[in-house]
């Protein structure tokens, strides 16, 4: 996608949603960190439902450790992979207390040393809690970047690097949330809503004309970008 088109895409996304925000409900970096760890392969709605109860009783590393593994598991049982996530959160709380005075560190290296935290989670925390212009690539952003031609890449790390290169600086802080919300609600995996899409003028996906004209019930080939491809040679969760 040409430079002017990339700028036009983000100008349109900004016009449509001037202040994009995460759909996770949190108060402060620690609650955000726990929520993002829980959100791997789970919906934000399911995470919010669990954390609404959990954070009422425990929203600090010390309080979560006081709950213990069984106590924490009881609050997050409805979320997929809860056993692994509970173990990671307990180990993360121990490390936060031991090495960071109970605070969430604001640097990538320290964040990625926390159990259950990979590059994607670190990117979300750095961006959303600490205001750094990082772009975490999840399944939605991977699909949108490839399908539209905005930042094609074979795996999530390649897409992240490309996005960081092509997204104009003035849009970089909010790019993650614009793209994730666009992928979640408009440029969906199986039935993209091209007729209602605010960036369709610049989108390079060949199937959009058929979707807009109604010639395709569900666009042929639309699901082709439905899955994140890893293979970046490192943890990206």
* Separation of alpha carbons 101 and 159, rounded Å: 35
197 binds ligand SF4 per the rule CB under 6 A = yes
Q: Cα separation of 44 and 39, whole Å?
A: 6
In three-state secondary structure terms, 86 is helix
Region binding ligand SF4 by CB under 6 A among candidate stretches 24-32, 97-105, 157-165, 201-209: 201-209
* Residue among 170 and 206 whose Cβ is closer to ligand SF4: 206
Of 40-48, 117-125, 198-206, 226-234, the segment contacting ligand SF4 by CB under 6 A is: 198-206
Stretch of residues binding ligand SF4 (CB under 6 A), selected from 50-58, 61-69, 120-128, 184-192: 184-192
Q: How many residues does the chain have?
A: 237
> Is there a catalytic annotation at residue 138?
yes
Q: For residue 91, give both structure tokens.
A: 């180990």
Q: Which of residues 5-64 bind ligand SF4 (CB under 6 A)?
A: none
Site for ligand SF4 (CB under 6 A): how many residues? Answer: 13
> Coil, strand, or helix at residue 177?
helix
Catalytic residue (one of 120, 162, 174, 208): 120
Cα maximum dimension of the chain: 60
H-helix or E-strand spanning residue 216:
none
- In whole angstroms, what is the distance from residue 4 CA to residue 8 CA? 6
Q: Is 177 in the site for ligand SF4 (CB under 6 A)?
A: no
User: What is each CA distance from 187 to 2, 11, 32, 37, 91, in whole angstroms?
Assistant: 20, 17, 26, 25, 37
DSSP 47: H
Is 220 assigned a catalytic role?
no
Among 2, 77, 193, 220, binds ligand SF4 (CB under 6 A): 193
According to DSSP, residue 60 is labeled: S
What is the smallest separation between the CB atom of 225 and ligand SF4, expressed in angstroms?
9
Q: Annotated active-site positions, please?
A: 120, 138
**Contact residues: ligand SF4, CB under 6 A:** 147-148, 186-187, 192-194, 197, 199-200, 203, 205, 208
């Amino acid at each position: 996608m040409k430079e002017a088109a990339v700028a036009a895409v983000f100008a349109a996304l900004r016009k449509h949603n001037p202040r994009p925000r995460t759909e996770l409900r949190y108060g402060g970096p620690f609650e955000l960190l726990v929520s993002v760890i829980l959100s791997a392969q789970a919906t934000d709605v399911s995470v919010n439902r669990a954390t609404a109860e959990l954070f009422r009783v425990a929203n600090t590393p010390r309080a979560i450790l006081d709950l213990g593994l069984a106590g924490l598991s009881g609050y997050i049982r409805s979320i997929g992979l809860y056993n692994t996530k509970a173990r990671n959160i307990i180990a993360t709380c121990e490390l936060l207390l031991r090495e960071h005075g109970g605070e969430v560190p604001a640097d990538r290296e320290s964040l990625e040393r926390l159990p259950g935290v990979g590059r994607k989670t670190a990117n979300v925390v750095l961006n959303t809690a600490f205001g750094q212009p990082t772009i975490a690539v999840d399944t939605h952003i991977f699909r949108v970047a490839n399908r539209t031609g905005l930042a094609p890449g074979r795996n999530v790390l390649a897409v992240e690097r490309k996005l960081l290169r092509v997204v104009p600086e003035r849009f970089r802080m909010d790019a993650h949330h614009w793209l994730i919300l666009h992928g979640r609600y408009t440029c969906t995996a199986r039935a993209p809503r091209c007729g209602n899409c605010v960036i369709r003028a610049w989108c390079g996906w060949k199937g959009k004309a058929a979707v807009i004209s109604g010639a395709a019930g569900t666009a042929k080939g639309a699901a082709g970008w439905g899955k994140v491809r890893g293979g970046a040679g490192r943890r990206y969760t």
